[in-house]
Structure 1
């Protein structure tokens, strides 16, 4: 289950992208996060672009795009749903 504290994103963060596989075991926690944590996250940030990209065989990864086109990514392989939320919080608070 996702953490109860849902981050509100600042102006420095422009976009979040989540890449995952629809069937692989390494993406299981990411799929659970999308089922349980996506709606509260989107409710807290209604106009913020959170993109979900599914592709067969891809390794799960979180990408954060900041001002001036700078991007940071974090692997989500074998992460639980709560670890995915922590990764979202960490990258949303990071400033470049």
Structure 2
């Protein structure tokens, strides 16, 4: 999981959108609770924003250089799948630099 330390090298901002109470956001809430501290300690200067809004579909958004953004819908994904989606967003950032 060396990619976790590369978030700040490849992303300008990471946003997690979720609902505080809906079942569709339950896995996303658990992912944030288990992984936020680790991600933030490995990337202390990277803005990792957790945005809660009632009834919103869980999503993960990455902002790259030049205002480019990519988003992933997280509804129905397991925690390992959410982690894989985040890893893919980091790889996108790497490819945008080349």
TM-score computed with the length of structure 2 as normaliser: 0.86
Alpha-carbon deviation of 1:93? 1.4
Deviates more, 1:83-92 or 1:57-66: 83-92
Alpha-carbon deviation of 1:80? 1.7
What is residue 11 of structure 1 aligned with on the other side?
9
Deviates more, 1:79-88 or 1:51-60: 79-88
2:8·2:43 contact (CA, 8 Å) conserved in 1? no
Segments of structure 2 that go 5 or more residues without pairing to the other structure are: none
What is residue 75 of structure 1 aligned with on the other side?
73
- Partners of 1:85 and 1:46 lie apart in 2 by 19
- Root mean square deviation of aligned Cα: 1.3
**1:58 to 2:80 alignment:** no
Q: From the two aligned structures, give the one with the greater helix fraction.
A: 2
- Partners of 2:10 and 2:33 lie apart in 1 by 27
Structure-to-structure mapping, 1:18-29, within 5 angstroms: 18-29=16-27
Alpha-carbon deviation of 1:87? 1.1
Q: Structure 1 runs of 4+ off > 6 angstroms?
A: none
- Partners of 1:10 and 1:25 lie apart in 2 by 30
What is residue 93 of structure 1 aligned with on the other side?
91
- Partners of 1:48 and 1:10 lie apart in 2 by 5
- Partners of 1:10 and 1:46 lie apart in 2 by 8
Segments of structure 1 that go 5 or more residues without pairing to the other structure are: none
TM-score computed with the length of structure 1 as normaliser: 0.87
